[in-house]
Structure 1
Amino acid sequence: MNKKVSILGIFILIMIIIITFGYRKLGTIEDKIKLQEEDKYFKYYSNENDSKAIKELSEVLNDNYSAITERFNTNLETKVEITIYPNIKEFHKAIGNEDASDGIVGVAYDNTIKMVSPLNPGSIHNKESLLKVIVHEFVHIVTFNINNKKENNIPTWFMEGVSVYEANQITDYEKKAIRENLYQNTDITIDDINDNFYNNQFSYLYSGSIVGFIVNEFGYEKLIQVIKSPNDIENILDLSIEELKNNWINYVEKNYK
């Protein structure tokens, strides 16, 4: 009997060792992602290989941090935590959307940014565009902070538009494309842009362009007011949504050559 108990005990011990160390050896992506660096405003998490990308990400973020927070007259109370995933597949798995397009390479919520490594950006982006994506996602954090983290009341077009504009993600080539596309779709509405946001390749560009118009026409003070009270945009700008759209189209025709 004692012999059987001893054999059973040894078997259980072996299984525990196999399970514990076997899984530890295989590991998961999350197991391999650790805090690699920390600076005044940010914490950077990645695996060992992707830590090579942190230097450039840190430079871009720190170059933009003061300018963005000063323009928006806000301060972040805690450091932003940035997690870098080694590839598109692992990133999409981490955000719970494994069927997402390769164009989805970054997300922000609360005080956290998750993104794909600039060293392996996937089929749509490249390293340079991902260095703008990190700024785009940081602007989301700033926007949430101004809005008292009630981001659910911010229309998608406006929330994304602020980030696109601040991250300077509209090139001169894309400005021409916006102008040409609007020429063929003058009946488009801001509600159309918002309601079909993820089904229209121009949605991000349109939204960033509209925010650019608001900044140039009304200034950052008004933009901040809209971030705080997005449902009151018509009163803040003293324009109906239809007038905002028409004035924006006129702005594009005049300034996007």
Structure 2
Amino acid sequence: MTRPLGIALRSLAVLALATLVNFAPMATLGMPGMKEYSFHGIRVLAKTADQDDAEHLAARVEKQAGGIAEALGTADTGGIGIIVYPSRKDLHRKTIGFAGAFLPDWFIGDNTREWVLITSPANPGPAHDRESVERAAVHEYVHVLTDRVNKSLGYWLKEGLALYLAGQEPTVDAVRSYAGIRWDDYSRPSALQFAEVGGYTLAYTLVEYIADRYGWEAVVRLVPSGASMERVLGVGPRGLFDEWKAWLSEL
């Protein structure tokens, strides 16, 4: 029994060390060489080379922040800052550690309940440009607000609200290309699977459909923890899915 126990303990020690090494970059959200700025009333961390872009990002968020808070009916908007990373790879490491090397190029933003985490518009990578990075910063700002209300909000509504309020409207052709989504893919999303089935295209239209059919107030009432879709909309998740799919087919 002693030998197997020793092997097991050594294996656990190696696993623990590997875990610590992987998550080491996440110990702090900031990076060496970053400076703290205050732009448009928003606390911003960025490197000197990204100062101008950081100011533009803060201006974009500040311009839309009031309308977003009003749309969500929330007053909990204090203490939200922005961290601008020199590259998407830097952001990836701060998101899930060294395992971030496997994150896709389109992943350029994240959030906590206090921070918008975003890639510098000066280095957006192959999947984005300056404009899409600025919209992504607003997108992550929406996530901060909804996370403060309900951190466990489902992917479709959480991403749909962020896309909708950030003005990230998809083209009709893009929507049509994913309109055949199946209930199984819709009802059990994970982060990467959500992207693969067109979630970042279709979620905008889900919020748009709910707002058109049931009113914007209904969208907002679905956000808090414990909200019942049946009570708010009069239909359950599958019923809403079927209605929305029929609506998509007419686009």
Report the CA distance shift for 1:180/1:116 in structure 2 as closer, same or farther (over 3 A).
Answer: closer
Partner SS, residue 75 of structure 1: coil
Aligned-pair CA distance for 1:34 = 1.6
Q: Which residue in 2 is equivalent to 1:110?
A: 113
The counterpart of 2:175, out of the listed 167, 173, 178, is 178
Q: Residue deviations 1:20-63, cap 9 Å, x none? A: xxxxxxxxx712112122433x2111000001102321221121
Q: Which residue in 1 is equivalent to 2:192?
A: 198
Question: TM-score by structure 1 length?
Answer: 0.77
Q: Which residue in 2 is equivalent to 1:224?
A: 220
Q: Where does 1:47-126 land on structure 2 (aligned, <5 Å)?
A: 47-95=47-95, 96=97, 97-126=100-129
Report the CA distance shift for 1:224/1:230 in structure 2 as closer, same or farther (over 3 A).
Answer: farther
Q: Where does 1:118-197 land on structure 2 (aligned, <5 Å)?
A: 118-147=121-150, 151=151, 153-172=152-171, 175-182=172-179, 185=180, 188-189=182-183, 192=186, 194-197=188-191
Q: What fraction of aligned residue pairs are identical, expressed as a percent?
A: 22
Aligned-pair CA distance for 1:142 = 1.4
Contact conserved, 1:158 with 1:207, CA < 8 A, in 2?
A: yes
Cα distance between partner residues in 2 of 1:78 and 1:196: 30
Task: From the CA coordinates, give the structure whose radius of gyration is larger.
Answer: 1
Contact conserved, 2:87 with 2:123, CA < 8 A, in 1?
A: yes
Query: Which segment drifts farther, 42-51 or 216-225?
Result: 216-225
Partner SS, residue 101 of structure 2: coil
Partner SS, residue 118 of structure 2: strand
Q: Where does 1:8-27 land on structure 2 (aligned, <5 Å)?
A: none
Write the letter of the residue equivalent to 2:189: D
Are residue 241 (structure 1) and residue 237 (structure 2) matched? yes
Cα distance between partner residues in 2 of 1:202 and 1:77: 30
Q: Residue deviations 1:61-92, cap 9 Å, x none? A: 12111111111111125221110010122111
Partner SS, residue 98 of structure 1: helix
Aligned-pair CA distance for 1:193 = 5.5
Contact conserved, 1:72 with 1:220, CA < 8 A, in 2?
A: no
Query: Which segment drifts farther, 112-121 or 89-98?
Result: 89-98
Aligned-pair CA distance for 1:109 = 1.4
Aligned-pair CA distance for 1:230 = 5.7
Q: Which residue in 2 is equivalent to 1:18?
A: none
Partner SS, residue 68 of structure 1: helix
Report the CA distance shift for 1:171/1:203 in structure 2 as closer, same or farther (over 3 A).
Answer: closer
Length, aligned pairs only? 217
Aligned-pair CA distance for 1:235 = 2.4
Question: TM-score by structure 2 length?
Answer: 0.79
Unaligned runs of 5+ in 1: 1-28
Aligned-pair CA distance for 1:157 = 2.0
Aligned-pair CA distance for 1:135 = 0.8
Write the letter of the residue equivalent to 2:173: K
Partner SS, residue 123 of structure 2: coil
Report the CA distance shift for 1:234/1:176 in structure 2 as closer, same or farther (over 3 A).
Answer: farther
Cα distance between partner residues in 1 of 2:157 and 2:81: 24
Aligned-pair CA distance for 1:222 = 1.3
Aligned-pair CA distance for 1:215 = 1.6
Unaligned runs of 5+ in 2: 1-29
